[in-house]
Amino acid sequence: MNNTPPKENTNNQEIDLVFLFRKIKGFFQSIRFGIFKFIQFCLNKIVYILAIIAVGGVLGYFMDKNLPQQYKHETIVAVNFDSAEYLYNFISNNKSKDSKITKVTIVPVNDIFQLISDNEDHLRAVTFLSESGLKIAEYEKGSSNIFFYRYHLLTIYTNGKDETGKVVSEFLAKINNTPYFVNKQKIEYKNNLVKIEEFKKSVQNINSVFESITKDKSSASVDITTYNQMNELTKTKSLLLKQLNKLETELAEQSVAIFPTVIQNNISANLFGYIVKIPFLFLFIFFIVSWMVSWFKNTKKAYLSRN
């Protein structure tokens, strides 16, 4: 049997591996030489580089002193009366005439526990959508799952500080003054007051039952069945108190459609000041121009050598 073809294949594989290793070695060598050339260029132009950094630093310092700095004001808002869609549309279509506001953003506060414990309908919806492959816990811009979240992070960017906090309050006032939500707030507020009173009466009734059982504790009528009923009543009371606490919290946040719960004003939105940005910008321009000049000279030299 002729074994020549396998030997040829082996030789070809060895040649391919040698070629590949040479290419990899050449690639790393080109990177090493590139770094060396860059360091050498910086050393040769050190005077120019230091001068650019100094000029850029001075210019950036005066810009930081004289130009208005950008600040952000973060507010966690509670969304009431199914106003989430209106809030997001208002922000996306907002064309504020107030020149102090430069940008407004909003994203849901991702609290999956609050989401599914808010009500049973949310739990069923989240379960169904998760089984369908939709990730409710991961918010994507433009998605419709904003309706599931009660709390949202509203961020307003301004030129200069807002010492009085009027920027956030006036922006929210524009949304909350909508007649539809003003009327709905009055209705929902009254409904929640009625619900709270009903829950309180239910808790009082359970307490009365407990008092009655306690009085008859020595009676022979208190058997295992009675204790089982007491256990069920205890669970029911616990659920009622939980719902009562939830309603009272909602009531405190239902004075307006978009209720600000936590506000943090005047957070610097600039990661680096102009004193850092300007020198880096000048250096970037210097390196780009130097590279273009070098490329042009080398190209011209190669062109002339061919002719």
Mean pLDDT of the chain: 79
- In this structure, the answer to whether residues 102 and 173 fall within a common structural domain is yes
- In this structure, the answer to whether residues 231 and 288 fall within a common structural domain is no
What pTM did the predictor assign?
0.63
Do the domain assignments include residue 141? no
For residue 155, the SS3 value is strand
Do the domain assignments include residue 211? yes
- In this structure, the answer to whether residues 157 and 254 fall within a common structural domain is yes
Do the domain assignments include residue 292? yes
Do the domain assignments include residue 207? yes
- In this structure, the answer to whether residues 53 and 157 fall within a common structural domain is no
- Could you give the number of structural domains in the chain? 2
pLDDT score for 1: 46
The pair of structure tokens assigned to 85 is 């869609």
- In this structure, the answer to whether residues 99 and 12 fall within a common structural domain is no
- In this structure, the answer to whether residues 90 and 211 fall within a common structural domain is yes
User: Of 1, 171, 141, 147, which Cα lies nearest the Cα of 73?
Assistant: 171
- In this structure, the answer to whether residues 163 and 234 fall within a common structural domain is yes
pLDDT higher than 90, residue 52: yes
Residue 117 to residue 113: CA distance in whole angstroms:
6
- In this structure, the answer to whether residues 261 and 174 fall within a common structural domain is yes
- In this structure, the answer to whether residues 171 and 285 fall within a common structural domain is no
Mean pLDDT across 292-297: 88
- In this structure, the answer to whether residues 15 and 89 fall within a common structural domain is no
Mean pLDDT across 215-232: 62
pLDDT score for 47: 93
Cα distances from 174 to residues 128, 155, 177, in angstroms, run 36, 16, 6
User: Of 263, 264, 281, 284, which Cα lies nearest the Cα of 272?
Assistant: 281
Find the domain containing 167 and state its range. Answer: 70-109+149-268
Do the domain assignments include residue 170? yes
- In this structure, the answer to whether residues 26 and 105 fall within a common structural domain is no
Q: Which residues contact 55 (CB under 8 A, 6 or more apart)?
A: 282
The pair of structure tokens assigned to 147 is 């309706």
> Tens digits of per-residue pLDDT, 236-261?
888 888 888 888 888 888 888 899 98
Do the domain assignments include residue 139? no
Residue 117 to residue 142: CA distance in whole angstroms:
25
Share of the chain above pLDDT 90, in %: 12
